[in-house]
Amino acid sequence: MFEENYKVVVLGAGESGVGAALLYKSRGIEVFVSDYGKIAEKYKIELEEHAIPYEEGTHSTSVILRASEVVKSPGIPEKAPIMQAIREQGIPVISEIELAGRYLKGKVIGITGSNGKTTTTMWLHHILSEAGLRVGLAGNVGFSLARQVITDDQPEYFVVELSSFQLDDMYQFRVHIALLMNITPDHLDRYHYNFEEYALAKMRILQNQTEEDAFIYWGEDEFVSRYVMMHQPMPMHLLPFLTYPQVGSAADKSDDNMMRLHFEGKSFEFPIDQLALQGPHNLQNAMAASIAALHIGVSEDVLTRALKDFVNVPHRLEKVGVLDGVRYINDSKATNISSTYYALRTMTTPYVLILGGEDKGNDYLDITEQIVSGARGLIFLTTDVLKLYKAFHGKVKHIASALSMEEAIAHARQMAQPGDTVLLSPACASFDLFTSYIHRGDCFREIVQDLIRKQGKHD
User: How far apart are alpha carbons 438 and 415 in whole angstroms?
Assistant: 25
DSSP string, 393-452: TTTSSEEEEESSHHHHHHHHHHH--TT-EEEE--SSBSTTTSSSHHHHHHHHHHHHHHHH
DSSP string, 292-306: HHHHHT--HHHHHHH
To the question of whether residue 356 is assigned a binding role by annotation, the answer is: no
Closest CA to 401 of 390, 413, 388: 388
To the question of whether residue 383 is assigned a binding role by annotation, the answer is: no
Is 19 within 8 Å of 144 (Cβ atoms)?
yes
DSSP string, 48-64: HHTT--EEESS--HHHH
Give phi and psi for 195, each to the nearest 5: -60, -40
To the question of whether residue 110 is assigned a binding role by annotation, the answer is: no
The sign of the torsion formed by the CA atoms of 247, 248, 253, 256 equals positive
To the question of whether residue 12 is assigned a binding role by annotation, the answer is: no
To the question of whether residue 297 is assigned a binding role by annotation, the answer is: no
To the question of whether residue 115 is assigned a binding role by annotation, the answer is: yes
| Angle ∠(206,14,166) on CA atoms, nearest 5 | 15
To the question of whether residue 151 is assigned a binding role by annotation, the answer is: no
List, as residue ranges, the binding site.
113-119
Q: Which residues are annotated as a binding site for ATP?
A: 113-119
